[in-house]
């Protein structure tokens, strides 16, 4: 079992930046790929970014490409999402997710492929 906890959300003006952090605890000795998703009321959970266990592979949703950067520090069992040039449409609850993998370079983009989720954290971008 893995527990995930997000931090770093909040309110920011359009054009500003935020850095989300996700700390993992529990059975972290296995290989895990990590991802960030977001959700607004009434809509499905949306993929934002994912990173492989070794950090060598990353993938982004088109809507955030060039503005968001995902990274991880396995020594700290943490994954990060640096969000720059934020837009009002980035407003959502952001979720950190993890899933075991047998391939150190694997990334996953679908919510159904992740077994572990954080509780979510609100990001609000004002216009």
Q: Enumerate the β-bridge partners of residue 99.
A: 33
Q: What is the pLDDT of residues 5-59, one digit of tens each?
A: 999 999 999 999 999 999 998 877 678 899 999 999 999 999 999 999 999 999 9
Q: In the chain, where do the E strands start and end? A: 2-7, 10-13, 18-26, 32-39, 46-51, 58-60, 68-73, 78-83, 92-100, 116-117, 121-126
**pLDDT for 93 beyond 90:** yes
CA 125 – CA 87 distance, rounded (Å):
6
pLDDT of residue 20: 98
pLDDT of residue 84: 98
CA 38 – CA 87 distance, rounded (Å):
14
CA 42 – CA 62 distance, rounded (Å):
21
**pLDDT for 109 beyond 90:** yes
Cβ-proximal residues to 89 (8 Å cutoff; 6+ apart), any chain = 63, 125
**pLDDT for 86 beyond 80:** yes
| Cβ contact 117:111 at 8 Å | no
Map residue 51 onto helix, strand or coil.
Answer: strand
Residue reference for tokens 């359009």: 14
**pLDDT for 101 beyond 90:** no
By percentage, how much of the chain surpasses pLDDT 70? Answer: 98
**pLDDT for 83 beyond 90:** yes
Mean pLDDT of the chain: 94
Residues 51-77 have a mean pLDDT of 95
Residues 85-92 have a mean pLDDT of 98
pLDDT of residue 89: 97
């Amino acid at each position: 079992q893995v527990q995930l906890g997000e931090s770093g959300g909040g309110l920011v003006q359009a054009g500003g930046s935020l850095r989300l952090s996700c700390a993992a605890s529990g059975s972290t000795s296995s290989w895990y790929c990590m991802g960030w998703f977001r959700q607004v009321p009434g809509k499905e959970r949306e993929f934002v970014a994912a990173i492989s266990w070794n950090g060598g592979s990353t993938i982004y949703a088109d809507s955030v490409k060039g503005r968001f950067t995902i990274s991880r520090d396995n020594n700290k069992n943490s994954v990060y999402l640096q969000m720059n040039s934020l837009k009002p449409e980035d407003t959502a609850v952001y979720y950190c997710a993890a899933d075991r993998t047998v391939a150190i370079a694997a990334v996953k983009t679908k919510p159904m492929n992740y077994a572990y989720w954080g509780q979510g954290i609100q990001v609000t971008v004002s216009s």
